[in-house]
């Protein structure tokens, strides 16, 4: 691979990572969940754990604002924490904290599945404009196939999360559910994103 191609590949990789939230986005979305589990186990009090996780998420958002970083993922993470906390506080059941996450996986998984079957893979729609090819990949079978194949990884990730975590939710084991949720969060997400990139980069970006 030439130096120019390597440089373009590195730039495209950085754009893809940024589109998926970047390292900071992953941190912002995961730390509040860890705090919730820790406080809940130490204090055995749902509201204290919820307040702690909300406070940490709010603090992360404020830090991003103060540093003038991109706050999109921190803010969306904060809103997500509020929604999850509302579900758990409404019922008084700690496992209900994870209902929005299960529903989110179901929603995203369904969208990715339908889009793939329709020939409009979500990754192509999302990454095409970011990589400068817009919808030109639609007219190039190999590039389109790469987006479809990469998108199937996300379909698998979303529905695997549901298949594993929903039975645990039904059992009411909040510690196991929280631990599995974290284990299938960062590692699974990173593996899926990396696998997608390996598939997509095999076919050159379609330039206008």
Q: List, for residues 88-130, the tens digit of each pLDDT value.
A: 999 999 999 999 999 999 999 999 999 999 999 999 999 988 8
| Residue 121: strand, helix, or coil | coil
| Residue 14: strand, helix, or coil | helix
> Burial of 184 by CB count in 10 Å (0-12 exposed, 13-18 middle, 19+ buried)?
middle
Q: What is the pLDDT of residue 11?
A: 65
**What is the Cα–Cα distance from 126 to 134, expressed in whole angstroms?**
9
- Of 161, 78, 77, 47, whose CA–CA distance to 169 is shortest? 161
CB neighbour burial string for 139-164, b if at least 16 within 10 angstroms, e if fewer: eeeebbebbbbbbbbbbbbbbebbee
Asked if pLDDT for residue 23 goes beyond 50, the answer is: yes
Q: What is the pLDDT of residue 187?
A: 82
Q: What is the pLDDT of residue 24?
A: 59
pLDDT in tens, 138-196: 999 999 999 999 999 999 999 999 999 999 999 999 999 999 998 888 788 888 988 99
- Of 161, 159, 160, 146, whose CA–CA distance to 116 is shortest? 146
- Band (pLDDT 50/70/90 cuts) for residue 67 is confident
Asked if pLDDT for residue 7 goes beyond 50, the answer is: no
**What is the Cα–Cα distance from 39 to 147, expressed in whole angstroms?**
41
Average pLDDT over residues 72-83: 79
What is the DSSP code (8-state) at residue 172?
T
**What is the Cα–Cα distance from 15 to 37, expressed in whole angstroms?**
33
Average pLDDT over residues 196-206: 89
Give pTM, 2 decimals.
0.83
């Amino acid at each position: 691979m030439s130096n120019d191609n390597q440089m373009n590949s590195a730039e495209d990789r950085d754009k893809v990572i940024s589109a998926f939230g970047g390292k900071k986005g992953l941190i912002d979305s995961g730390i509040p969940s860890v705090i919730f589990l820790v406080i809940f186990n130490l204090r055995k009090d749902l509201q204290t754990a919820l307040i702690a996780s909300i406070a940490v998420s709010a603090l992360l958002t404020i830090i991003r604002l103060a540093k003038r970083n991109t706050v999109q993922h921190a803010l969306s993470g904060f809103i997500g924490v509020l929604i999850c906390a509302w579900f758990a506080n409404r019922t008084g059941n700690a496992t209900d904290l994870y209902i929005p996450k299960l529903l989110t996986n179901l929603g995203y998984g369904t969208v990715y599945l339908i889009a793939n079957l329709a020939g409009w893979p979500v990754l192509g729609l999302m990454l095409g404009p970011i990589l400068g090819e817009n919808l030109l990949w639609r007219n190039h079978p190999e590039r389109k196939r790469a987006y479809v194949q990469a998108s199937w990884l996300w379909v698998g990730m979303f529905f695997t999360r549901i298949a594993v975590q929903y039975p645990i939710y039904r059992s009411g084991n909040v510690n196991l559910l929280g631990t599995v949720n974290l284990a299938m969060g960062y590692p699974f997400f990173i593996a899926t994103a990396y696998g997608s990139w390996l598939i997509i980069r095999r076919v050159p970006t379609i330039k206008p």
